[in-house]
């Protein structure tokens, strides 16, 4: 399956994401620069990686969401192509309107960088199908603006529709209802603050993130 990694000025996890995708697929992903206006044909998965796009100027992800390539990403998502946004990628997806809510400064205004326990809330999506519902996995976070916020009506809808994919098993950054990752209404867009691409080999301290990519490959191959 052909995959794509979108790169913006300030992205710093694009190579991590590319390495994880190659490890699972055996094929190098297509690296797409933010100024492109089209995506290669037959893309089966789009990854929007972490980092500090445009130096987090204005708001994290706000400028990247208006880069030329993002219209192509939105169009692909609307056609059902899976889109995975991690950390800054999650911020970009909310700013682009593909996911509801916003990512604000962490409670306490501190950068958080450590492995955290996550509870799998939904294991019926293409991203989470190889996890068990209720399973606790450990995935690293590294962010300053990961405090997920949405109004109560939106939060109730996300929970009622089963669109909370992952929840922090404890306080990490002040996120509303400890939400760590959410899905869009079709289930083909996932935004999450933790970095699954950094947990794909035992040498990294664990491989819990690898199952996300392996699950995607089995569904989309």
Whether 142 has a pLDDT exceeding 90, the answer reads yes
Rounded average pLDDT over 36-44? 94
Catalytic residue among 13, 121, 143, 197: 197
Given a cut of 80, whether residue 145 has pLDDT beyond it is: yes
Annotated catalytic residue: which of 34, 87, 95, 121? 87
Computed from CA positions of residues 12, 103, 100, 56, in that sequence, does the dihedral angle turn out positive or negative? Answer: negative
Which residue in 57, 91, 73 sits closest to 175, CA to CA?
Answer: 91
List the structure tokens of 11.
């992205």
Q: What pLDDT is recorded for position 57?
A: 87
> Rounded to the nearest 10 degrees, how much is the dihedral formed by the CA atoms of 128, 133, 135, 139?
30
* Spatial separation of the C-alpha atoms in residues 111 and 187, rounded to whole Å: 30
How far, in Å, CA of 186 to CA of 166, rounded?
A: 17
Per the annotation, the verdict on 113 as an active-site residue is no
pLDDT tens string 183-194: 999 999 999 999
Give the three-state DSSP class for 157.
helix
**Sequence-ordered strand ranges (E) for 27-78:** 30-33, 43-48
More confident residue, 220 or 216: 216
Query: Is CATH 3.40.50.880 correct for 2-220?
Result: yes
pLDDT at residue 221, rounded to an integer: 63
Backbone angles phi, psi at 143, to 5 degrees: -155, 160
pLDDT of residue 184: 98
1 or 47: which leads in pLDDT? 47
pLDDT at 140: 97
159 pLDDT more than 80: yes
Q: Is the dihedral of CA 196, 197, 199, 202 positive or negative?
A: positive
Task: In whole angstroms, give the CA distance from residue 55 to residue 39.
Answer: 24
Q: State yes or no: is 161 an active-site residue.
A: no
How far is residue 91's CA from residue 192's CA, in Å, rounded to a whole number?
A: 9
Chain mean pLDDT for the chain = 96
Report the run of H or E that residue 88 belongs to, with start and end.
helix 88-95
Assess whether 13 carries a catalytic annotation.
no
- Residue 218 pLDDT: 85
Strands 43-48 and 112-120: what pairing? unpaired
Domain boundaries defined on the chain? 2-220
Q: Which of 95, 121, 143, 195 is catalytic?
A: 195
For 48-107, the pLDDT digits (tens) are 999 999 998 889 999 999 999 999 999 999 999 999 999 999 999 999 999 999 999 999
């Amino acid at each position: 399956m052909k995959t794509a990694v979108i790169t913006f000025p300030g992205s710093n996890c694009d190579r991590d994401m590319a390495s994880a995708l190659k490890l699972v697929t055996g094929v190098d992903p297509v690296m797409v620069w933010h100024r492109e206006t089209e995506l290669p044909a037959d893309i089966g998965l789009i990854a929007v990686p972490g980092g500090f796009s445009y130096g987090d100027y204005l708001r994290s992800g706000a400028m990247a969401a208006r880069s030329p390539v993002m219209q192509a990403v939105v169009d692909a998502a609307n056609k059902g192509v899976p889109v995975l946004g991690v950390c800054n990628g999650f911020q970009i997806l909310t700013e682009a309107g593909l996911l509801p809510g916003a990512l604000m400064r962490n409670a306490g205004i501190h950068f958080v960088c450590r492995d955290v326990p996550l509870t799998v809330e939904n294991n019926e999506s293409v991203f989470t199908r190889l996890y068990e519902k209720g399973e606790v996995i450990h995935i690293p976070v590294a962010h300053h603006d990961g405090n997920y916020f949405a109004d109560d009506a939106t939060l109730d809808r996300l929970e009622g529709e089963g669109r909370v994919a992952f929840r922090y098993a404890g306080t990490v950054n002040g996120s509303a209802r400890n939400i760590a990752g959410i899905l869009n209404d079709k289930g083909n867009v996932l935004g999450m603050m933790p970095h699954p691409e950094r947990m794909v080999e035992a040498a990294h301290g664990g491989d819990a993130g690898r199952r996300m990519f392996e699950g995607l490959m089995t569904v989309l191959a």
